[in-house]
Structure formats: structure tokens, C-alpha cells
Structure 1
């Protein structure tokens, strides 16, 4: 009897498409789903899939479609699920709150219910460094409080962790939450600073630098994140602790001005910086304590921004060209 495929949600997304490619490269059968919504250009998502995982079976399906999800689970009978689909973005949550309730809360419950009733043995799901909010101090460890989020997006991700914990302890669903720290790389999200800044500098457009540049981020390269996702997937929790949460970050926060300088060097031209005050919902600093992930499945990020950001700039130049 053939092994059931790994189900990857958000498979046309930045992390999802890279995860699909990595799973296929090691010989796993993969089926994905994605709604191809218009939070950013759906054509980028289609191009991303065509470039990274063209042979992947990716179904167009929304997390709120309970009947469609149930039919997919009945067809595939997956025993492992990598749930990366979500409405992302801190600033977007200020203007489009219902998108987060639909996808990140109702959609997450739909996935939990199906995993519970269809015999899924391990659910790996995306959380976010945003959950740390105002209550944590760098380096952020998984033992710190997450009950003071700075945005609705962060609140929904913290809620996901609570929901998964509940299902794990009530129903024995083994679940692993991954708190991603500012993931970047080729084929990344166009609403995030690495692509926004790279495209603007290449085109000679000004960039907005928030909090007057006094920000530090734990930028984590996509290949390191994918290694962490696959590591977590291969190490499900034990019965006595059915739900676990891990930080996946680079453990090396970078000053925003240094981040911009690396982009300038790769682009071969200076940035036109427009300094702005702090944006609502943003965090001044993020820094991951990754000791728990290192001990559990050998997570050890290796890519510094001096290596990763030039690849982003080169990809932007190649993909966007005159549209940069």
C-alpha cells in the first residue's frame, strides 16, 4: 500500500513552496493546497510554484471551505500535515481584521478538527515571532509570556498555539508550532522589507525606514527555515508532551541600517532613505533563542545576511527587471 502524501497548506506561499521542493527532493510524496488569494499578486505565487516545485500537486482551496477540506483529507488520508497557510502581515491586520479571523482562527480550527478526526499523526504549523509582543525580552525563549501582542496578526498566532495545545491534550493530536523570525530569500513575500528595499534600491526609489532606523531584526534565510521545518516534521513530540513550540530564527539580530547597507552593496547604488516614526504593531527588536530547536532536531542556521541578501537582490533584478 503506498504511503500517504504529506499535506502542505499554503503551498504556493514563500515558505510553503520551498518546503514542497525540499520534501520532493528527498523523495516524499507531497500534495499542497493554496487559495491563491490577492493579498499580493497571485501571479508571483504561480511563478514561484513553477520555478520551485512544478511537479507538485497543489489544489486551489480555501481554509474556510470545510467541505472541500474534508473531501481532500478523505481522498489523501494524510498522516503528516505541514500547515503554513495563513493570512500574514502585521500592518495589513490593522485594515483587514476579518481576513485574519477567517483564515487564522476559523481556518485553523478547521484544520485541527480534520487532523483530529482523520488520524493525522503529526501536525506541524506556522506560528510567528510576533507572538512575543511587549512582554518578552531578547533573546526570546519559548518559555516567555506571549499574552501582550502588538497586532491582531500576532494575537491570532498566539491563539493558534493555545488551540493546538488544547487539541493535543484533549485528543492526543501531536502538534508542533514553529515561531518563524523574519524569513527572507529569493521568491520571498513582496510586502516584506527584504524585497521592498531591494526592489526600491534597484529602481532608484526611496524607501521608508521606520523608527528612524532604530530597529533590529533576526533575519532568517529561507534554506535555514526549511531545514527547521523538515527537522521538526521528523521529530514528533512524545505522548507525555504532545504539543511543543520552537523558535526558528538566526539568533543574530541585525541593525536595520546595516541591513540596508548590505542591500546597497549588492545593488551597487545607495538607498534613498526616508525616515519615519514607528509603525503601529511593529516590534523594535526580535532575537530568537534557538537552543530548544537545536537540542530537539539539530536546528543550526548558517546563512548570514551578507550571503543571503545579495541572492535576494539578484533574484529581484532577474524576476522583476524593469518592474523593480
Structure 2
């Protein structure tokens, strides 16, 4: 039995889909739907039971299935990087994670959790996932702080040899459609390129980066699933790991691949970044994958262009939104 939290969200629902593809359906899903469309991510998927995230801890104490849980894939969190309610973030990103981790350890269940590249702040200290660097990191926003705080809790309680954390970089792909403004730039660029033959990108407000040359370590959801599957299959591999590709690409390259997939000429318009984002904006991210590769994860090759174009051609341009659509 595997418990997946955030199970209706982007990465969580992809994990459920991936497990189903392997014939694994003995799953407990935890999440809350609110007024979003993320419930659609679960259509066609097979699982044993769904539990509201607010009722999960009670269920873990009373439900018959709780004793059969062998692994917890904890993807549940508030992932809004602009969320200003720090108490809300502390409740759902820190306290919830801490309680679930303690339950997992007490019940001999594998614990895999979602951290974030947001912990690295402006990247001034680099993007190494070495444990000794973590206390020195300075996240730029409250979301990143909440993720950093849980990483610190793991380290301070010397649990890095007992649990596995994944610092996700810039994930994109099917099942992200409910995320609205928090969805990938690729998702937002596609309708612009399709309908207006133009893609709008932020200007750079730093002299060392030209417009559109801000760089991100974009990672496709299929690559993320490879990392999570590796940890599920290798329960002795523990620690806090980066999960990116190790190869950053620019937003200009992103737009170029969207246009290429549509068979159109590249046409990019740059516009000023909102004032409130300028001091919280990461100009470059690039995962140092040394530690995860040393633990045995097969090395990723650079498939950025292929994945972007496939996302456009095989999903969005055919009206598809979900992994199960192809």
C-alpha cells in the first residue's frame, strides 16, 4: 500500500498515473479539491481510497488500511510562490510534513517528500544539495522558506539517512492545467503563439542577462517520475536530492521550441517584470545532480527541445491536458 498526498495535484497525480502504469493500484490518495479543476487529474486512475487532506491524520490512526502502508509519497503542499500568508504555508508545508514524516518513521513506511529549488534563493551560493550548504541558504519568498524550514528540520533531527527529499526544479508537462498562473511558462506560451503568433516574456532587469536570457533548469514530468520511481524502488537510498536535469535553458529557447512545434516563425515581445517580483525573481536555476547520480539515478540527457515540442504537438495542440490522454 502506498499513500500519495497532493494526489490530485500536478506531480502527485502524475505519480498515481505512473504507479497505475506499473500495475500498482493499492493506493491511498490524500488531497483537497476546493474550487479547482484538479479533480480531473484523477479521472480514469485506479486507487483504493481517497481521503481529504484535513482528515488524513485521523484516518492514519483509525482506518484499517493504515497498517498496510509501506511507503508515503508526500507531494502535498501549497506551491504558490506568491502566497503571502506565512501561517498558512507553515501549517501545510512545514507542520503537515513534519507530522506525516514522524508517522511514517514510527510505522516503518518509506518517506519521500517534495522540497523545492526555491530554497536556493537568488542562487548566489550555487545549487548544490550538499547538506552543509542548506543552513546557509536564503530563500527569496515565503514558499521557499517553508520548504527550506522542513529540509532544516530533517537535517537537525539527523533524518537524512532515513527519508528522501526531492528539490524539484522547473517542472512542466501534462496534468499542470489547474495551476493557473503557477503553471509552467510553456503552458502560458502555447495559446499566445497559437492565437497571436507572438509570445510575451519578461524583460531582464539585470545588466548581466539580456531579455529572455533568464535561464531555468526545466524538467519534464516524465523525468521527475523517473526520479520518484528510483527512490521507491531503492528504499535504502536516502537524503535530500536535487531533481532537475543539470542543463539550464533560456526562456527564448523555450519560446523558440513552442513556435517550432507549431511550424511558425519565432516572434517574442518583452515586457517589464512587475515591480513586486523583481526582488524575488530567480534569474538562473541549475540543479547540481552530482549527489543523486552518485546514489545511482541514471543520468538525464538533454531532451528539453524534444519534450517541449512533444508537449505542444501531442497534448496541447490536440486538446489533451492529461497524461492519460496520450
TM over 0.5: yes
- SS of the aligned residue for 1:287 comes to coil
Measured against aligned partners, the alpha-carbon deviations of 1:119-164 in whole angstroms (never above 9, x if no partner) come to 1332010111111113644453435345211111111111111223
For 1:112 and 1:141, locate their aligned partners in 2 and report how far apart those are by CA, in whole Å. Answer: 20
Asked if the contact 2:8/2:33 (under 8 Å) is kept, the reply is yes
Matched, 1:244 2:239: yes
Taking a change above 3 Å as real, the CA distance of residues 6 and 206 of structure 1, as seen in their structure-2 partners, is same
Asked if the contact 2:120/2:126 (under 8 Å) is kept, the reply is no
Taking a change above 3 Å as real, the CA distance of residues 57 and 258 of structure 1, as seen in their structure-2 partners, is same
For 1:272 and 1:135, locate their aligned partners in 2 and report how far apart those are by CA, in whole Å. Answer: 26
Matched, 1:313 2:312: yes
For 1:73 and 1:109, locate their aligned partners in 2 and report how far apart those are by CA, in whole Å. Answer: 23
For 1:73 and 1:35, locate their aligned partners in 2 and report how far apart those are by CA, in whole Å. Answer: 21
Measured against aligned partners, the alpha-carbon deviations of 1:79-106 in whole angstroms (never above 9, x if no partner) come to 2111011110322x2x443431221022
Tell me the equivalent position of 2:324.
Answer: none
- Count of residue pairs the alignment pairs up: 302
For 1:251 and 1:153, locate their aligned partners in 2 and report how far apart those are by CA, in whole Å. Answer: 23
Q: RMSD of the alignment, in Å?
A: 2.8
**Unaligned regions of 5+ residues in structure 1, if any?**
none
Asked if the contact 1:7/1:82 (under 8 Å) is kept, the reply is yes
For 1:62 and 1:210, locate their aligned partners in 2 and report how far apart those are by CA, in whole Å. Answer: 39
Asked if the contact 1:34/1:58 (under 8 Å) is kept, the reply is no
For 1:74 and 1:167, locate their aligned partners in 2 and report how far apart those are by CA, in whole Å. Answer: 29
Taking a change above 3 Å as real, the CA distance of residues 307 and 228 of structure 1, as seen in their structure-2 partners, is same
Tell me the equivalent position of 1:47.
Answer: 40
Taking a change above 3 Å as real, the CA distance of residues 197 and 31 of structure 1, as seen in their structure-2 partners, is same
For 1:97 and 1:273, locate their aligned partners in 2 and report how far apart those are by CA, in whole Å. Answer: 35
TM-score normalised to structure 2 length: 0.82
For 1:57 and 1:207, locate their aligned partners in 2 and report how far apart those are by CA, in whole Å. Answer: 44
For 1:111 and 1:210, locate their aligned partners in 2 and report how far apart those are by CA, in whole Å. Answer: 41
For 1:252 and 1:47, locate their aligned partners in 2 and report how far apart those are by CA, in whole Å. Answer: 32
For 1:225 and 1:125, locate their aligned partners in 2 and report how far apart those are by CA, in whole Å. Answer: 13
Taking a change above 3 Å as real, the CA distance of residues 308 and 72 of structure 1, as seen in their structure-2 partners, is farther
CA apart distance, 1:227:
0.7
Tell me the equivalent position of 2:207.
Answer: none
TM-score normalised to structure 1 length: 0.82
Between 1:11-20 and 1:277-286, the stretch displaced more is 277-286
* Correspondences of 1:1-324 after superposition (within 5 Å): 5-28=1-24, 29-38=26-35, 42-43=36-37, 45-50=38-43, 54-57=45-48, 59-63=50-54, 66-72=57-63, 75-91=66-82, 93=83, 95-117=84-106, 119-134=107-122, 136-138=124-126, 140-143=128-131, 144-145=133-134, 146-169=136-159, 174-188=162-176, 189-190=179-180, 191=182, 192-204=184-196, 207-211=200-204, 212-237=211-236, 244-269=239-264, 270-271=266-267, 273-277=269-273, 279-302=278-301, 304-314=303-313, 315-319=315-319
Asked if the contact 1:210/1:279 (under 8 Å) is kept, the reply is no
Between 1:58-67 and 1:280-289, the stretch displaced more is 58-67
